[in-house]
């Protein structure tokens, strides 16, 4: 199936490179990809193949002249275009799962490219699970600093509860004092975001019981 999607991508990239270098080709490519997905009845295998092709077209576009698994057109797919295509085709979970299969440094580099363009809270738990495998304390510290330097969108109560639970689990499991200290700082950052969320939350969507539970979880790890 991959070669079908690769053909779609290459055809649109050729158009973007030769005919209209400044065009927004994402809608054109998406229409083409939808036709191929429909041909394969939107199967899970087809979505897996689509993810692989789009991921390669973005991540490895610099290898266009030496890697036969990516398009030969140097235009490639940019990070913001990849994010749009990922979301249009519901490939976020596939992308995150794929990161677990890559070396830690490469996975972190990928997330650090995506997050500034798409500062969504949905990345945070995946990022923390990956950074938790870093043994070098300086590298770990820099990786955590990256998160606390960001301004995330969509930071809601559910996000904060899930992230705080993960941080607490990592604090309890980590034998490195430096890691635990850094996680405490991360929790302080999260608490600040939690307070902002509580303050700006609309009353119609508020849940006092959930808020009390969230505040207790944040306090427990301070």
Tell me, yes or no, whether 137 and 206 share the same domain. yes
Residue 139 and residue 196 in one domain: yes
User: Same domain for 81 and 154?
Assistant: no
Confidence of residue 70 (pLDDT cuts 50, 70, 90): low
Last residue of a domain, one of 45, 62, 92: 92
Residue 178: how many CB atoms within 10 A of its CB? 12
**Same-domain pairing of 66 and 125:** no
The answer on 209 and 119 residing in a single domain is yes
Question: What's the whole-number mean pLDDT along residues 60-73?
Answer: 61
Which pair of tokens denotes residue 101? Answer: 């299969």
Domain end point (choices 48, 63, 92): 92
- Residue 197 confidence (pLDDT) above 60: no
- 40 lies in the same domain as 145: no
Do 10 and 88 lie in one domain? The reply is yes
Instruction: From 74, 92, 110, give the residue that closes a domain.
Output: 92
Buried b (16+ CB within 10 A) or exposed e, 124-157: bbbbbebbbebeeeeebbebbebbeebebeebeb
pLDDT average, residue stretch 37-66: 88
Same domain flag for 118 and 85: no
Same-domain status, 44 and 119: no
**40: Cα within 13 Å, side-chain hemisphere:** 19
Task: Give the range of the structural domain holding residue 130, as residue numbers without chain letter.
Answer: 100-220
Residues 148 and 204 in one domain: yes
Residues 111 and 204 in one domain: yes
Q: What is the DSSP letter of 201?
A: S
Query: How many domains does the chain contain in total?
Result: 2
Residues 104 and 123 grouped into a single domain? yes
For range 51-80, the mean pLDDT: 76
Q: Considering only 100-109, 115-124, 177-186, which range has the smallest mean pLDDT? A: 177-186
Position 125 pLDDT exceeds 70 = yes
């Amino acid at each position: 199936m991959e070669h079908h999607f690769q053909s779609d991508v290459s055809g649109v990239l050729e158009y973007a490179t030769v005919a209209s270098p400044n065009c927004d080709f994402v809608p054109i490519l998406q229409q083409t990809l939808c036709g191929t997905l429909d041909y394969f009845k939107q199967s899970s295998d087809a979505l897996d193949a689509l993810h692989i092709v789009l991921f390669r077209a973005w991540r490895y576009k610099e290898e266009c002249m030496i890697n036969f698994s990516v398009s030969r057109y140097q235009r490639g797919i940019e990070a913001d275009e990849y994010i749009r295509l990922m979301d249009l085709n519901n490939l976020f979970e596939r992308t995150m799962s794929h990161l677990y299969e890559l070396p830690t440094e490469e996975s972190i580099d990928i997330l650090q490219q995506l997050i500034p363009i798409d500062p969504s809270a949905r990345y945070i738990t995946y990022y923390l699970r990956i950074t938790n495998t870093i043994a070098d304390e300086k590298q770990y510290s820099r990786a955590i600093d990256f998160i606390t330097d960001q301004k995330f969108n969509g930071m809601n109560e559910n996000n904060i509860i899930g992230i705080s639970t993960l941080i607490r689990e990592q604090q309890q499991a980590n034998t490195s004092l430096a890691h635990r200290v850094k996680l405490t700082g991360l929790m302080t950052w999260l608490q600040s975001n939690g307070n902002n969320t509580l303050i700006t939350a609309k009353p119609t969507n508020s849940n006092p019981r959930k808020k009390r539970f969230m505040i207790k979880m944040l306090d427990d790890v301070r």
